[in-house]
Amino acid sequence: MSDPSRLRDRIRLPEGFRLIRREDIDREFSCLEPRMDRYTLRQYYEWSLEPHALVVVREVEGQVAGVQYLTVHSGYIMLEMLARNKLLQYPGAGGDLVRVVERVVAPQLGVSEIRMEALQHVVRYYDDVLGYEEIGTAYRDPEWGLLTPKRKLLPRRP
């Protein structure tokens, strides 16, 4: 990525998706999972200010239904953190966010690979539903438990 300061300016998202904004930091958001809830929307916003970082919001009826923190590297995007707001009755926010990165963000940035480290309880979802593959040996993280390195190769676009 040659000019990280311009990264946010290069992204155009479809209706229902947007980049996180400062005014989001005081909104109600909870995953109802203590490890994930340690990271507030304020933290996601602060991450979005880092070079090579984006935080994409799934917005439903004016509410933050989900949030995804990603970093852009040479040749791939790393899905760093994905959280769904379980205070809302909108269970599809996580999948929506992953798909918008694959179908919209990656092509706009000229990237053809998405990587992540999947939590144990979602490994099959990423494999079976979203088409990801393992690229390394699962390992135990002291905070998150078993993590499995995964990737998805995207079709190259002209």
The residues near 101 (Cβ < 8 Å, ≥ 6 apart) are 56, 68, 70, 77, 79, 114
Q: Map out the domains of the chain as residue ranges.
A: 4-153
* 3-state secondary structure (DSSP) of residue 116: strand
Each residue's pLDDT expressed in tens, for the chain with a length of 158 residues = 445 557 888 899 999 999 999 999 999 999 998 889 999 999 999 999 999 999 999 999 999 999 999 999 999 999 999 999 999 988 899 999 999 999 999 999 999 999 999 998 889 999 889 999 999 999 999 999 999 999 999 987 65
Tokens of 5: 């300061």
The CATH T-level fold of domain 4-153 is: Aminopeptidase (3.40.630)
pTM: 0.91
Q: Compute the distance between CA of residue 59 and CA of residue 69 in angstroms, rounded to an integer.
A: 15
Model confidence pLDDT, tens digit, residues 50-80: 999 999 999 999 999 999 999 999 999 999 9
Phi, psi of 151, rounded to the nearest 5 degrees: -150, 165
Cα dihedral 11, 48, 55, 53 in deg (nearest 10):
70
